[in-house]
């Protein structure tokens, strides 16, 4: 087997190509999750769960819920009812 070194071209700071526009990316679907809270359980505790079991979460009642896009926190809000479904009213945008 012959192994050769790869030579990469030098890119200057001024050599930038076209920039992607937001409207081009706007139709790409992403996973959006609203997180009520979380808890850490042992595997034994998980195996003992049954109907009616209660898991205490790390959030206080009334605390804002997290809106995550692709796993990243982007906003917080409060639960609302929209017809027969739940919704999230954004109260704080926290994108970093």
Average pLDDT over every residue of 30-49: 95
pLDDT at 85 exceeding the cut of 70: yes
Quickly state the pLDDT bin for 15 (edges 50, 70, 90): low
Average pLDDT over every residue of 38-50: 96
SS3 state of residue 74? strand
Question: Is the torsion defined by CA of 47, 42, 67, 72 positive or negative?
Answer: negative
CA distance 2 to 82: 64
Angle at 24 between CA 95 and CA 34, to 5 degrees: 35
CATH superfamily of 29-93: SpoA-like (2.30.330.10)
What local confidence, expressed as pLDDT, does residue 46 receive? 97
80 and 88 Cβ atoms separated by less than 8 Å: yes
What local confidence, expressed as pLDDT, does residue 80 receive? 94
What local confidence, expressed as pLDDT, does residue 87 receive? 93
């Amino acid at each position: 087997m012959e192994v050769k070194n790869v030579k990469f071209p030098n890119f200057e700071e001024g050599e930038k190509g076209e920039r992607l526009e937001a409207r081009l990316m706007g139709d790409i679907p992403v996973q959006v999750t609203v997180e009520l809270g979380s808890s850490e359980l042992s595997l034994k505790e998980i195996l003992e769960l049954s109907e009616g079991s209660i898991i205490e979460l790390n959030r206080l009642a009334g605390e804002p819920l997290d809106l995550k896009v692709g796993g990243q926190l982007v906003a917080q809000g409060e639960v609302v009812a929209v017809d027969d479904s739940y919704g999230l009213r954004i109260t704080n945008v926290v994108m970093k």
